[in-house]
Structure formats: structure tokens, C-alpha cells
Amino acid sequence: MARYFIYLSYDGTAYHGWQVQPNGSSVQAELQRALSILLRKDVEVVGAGRTDAGVHARLMVAHFDVEDPLDGQQMTYRLNRILPRDIAVSRVEEVESSLHARFSATSRTYRYYIHTRKDPFLRAYSCETHYDLDFDAMNEAAAFLLTQDDFASFCKVGADVKTTLCKVTHAQWHQTSPSTWYFEITANRFLRNMVRAVVGTLFDVGRHRVSYDEFKRIIETRTRTAAGESMPGHALFLEDIHYNGIT
């Protein structure tokens, strides 16, 4: 069996997330449907992660196995002909059979976009807020995330996870214009709903509703109810996934 990685991007607006759902459309289901048509048999794909409903990906990686060798360029072209317009494949390439789209990934990067002035062209992919946010305080609190390893306080209640341990290597707010910002966070793995819960709690810091010391205590309690509200999913993007030895 040969293993292939698919590199794709998608607008998550119309989907109930990446993972196949019993009563809703998903990106994984659309990709499996397209592959099954082309290969004329049922094909299962395994993704590098599970984005939630409405969340987008500039880069998602998935793998599938097939007996006969494929032409990656032809497969990319044919997939894009079948897939809906909100899902795009950038390349398909053969990899070592030991590589796994999810378990071989060494890091993932998300960005959460916000704008502080009404803009009709940003509303679908950025969260509009009119709070007077203290971004210096928010970045100070975000830096504390790099010193921690248990993020249970930001994990969705009832999530099926064996561990809430994560290693965050980057967490910072970046300004791109007088009224636009994004929060970028990189970690070896993420818990369900983690990024949106982190951003919501940092908003409380930025509004001076939560102090730096209180932010630290929220993490140390390891209780989801101690943290802030989850932010809307439409402004969250899976930006990048890294694998050792693969560019």
C-alpha cells in the first residue's frame, strides 16, 4: 500500500467541521466522496486535526492509502474538478508509509482574526469588536501560556481526550492595520475549542476584567468554567502544520 498526503484549504462556513458528522456536511466527507469517485472504491482519509463548525483552514493535511501508484499532479487536478468551490487541493504527494497526517505532525498554528471598526468585507472571516482592548496586557498574559503544559481550563466540557497536556511554543497578538489584529498560537497539539476559549479569556484580560494573576489562576484551576467564553468560529483559521523533513 502506498500512502499519500493531500494538502488542502477550505472555507468552513458551510460545514459542521472537518470530521464526518451523522447529520451534517463535513470537509472530510466531501474529500472522501471525491476520492471514492476517482478511485472507484471507498476511501477513508485521516486529517491532521479536527476543526470545529465554521472554522477555516489555509492548510489542512490528510492522508489516504491506495494499492496502485498515483500521479499526484493529475490527482490534484481531478480532485479540484470534483470538490465544491469552498475546498481546494494544492497538492497530492506520496510519502513514507510510516508518516501519519495526525500523529506525525510536530506543530500546528492557528490564527484568530479581529477588527475594531465596522467593515462589511471582513465580517465573514474576522470577529468585529468595539471593546477598547489593552493588547499589551493581552500579550503579557499570552506569554504565560508558553510556561504551562496543562490546558484543561480551555478544553470543551465533555471532550473525548485522554490528556489535556499541550506544549505551546508561540502565542502573540499581531497588529496588521489601525483596526485589524490577529492572535497567532502554535503548539504541538490543541484541545477541542482550545483556541477560541484562550482568545475569549484574553479578551477579558484586554478589557481589564481579568488581571494577569487571575489569568494565571484560571489556567492553574484546570476548570473550563473558570475561563472566558469561546469566541465565534468564523474568525478562526488553521494556518499551518509542520512535519519534520517535509516542506
Residues annotated as part of the active site = 52
* Residue 229 to residue 198: CA distance in whole angstroms: 9
Distances in whole angstroms, Cα of residue 180 to Cα of each of 16, 40, 128? 27, 46, 9
Scan for cell 508558553, then name that residue.
146
Q: Which three cell numbers stand for residue 222?
A: 484546570
Question: Residue 155: which of 62, 225, 78 has the closest Cα?
Answer: 225
Give the SS3 label for residue 122. coil
Q: Which residues contact 31 (CB under 8 A, 6 or more apart)?
A: 6, 8, 45, 62, 79, 83, 87
> Which positions ≥6 away from 123 have C-beta within 8 Å?
none
Q: What pairs with residue 62 in β-bridges?
A: 6, 47
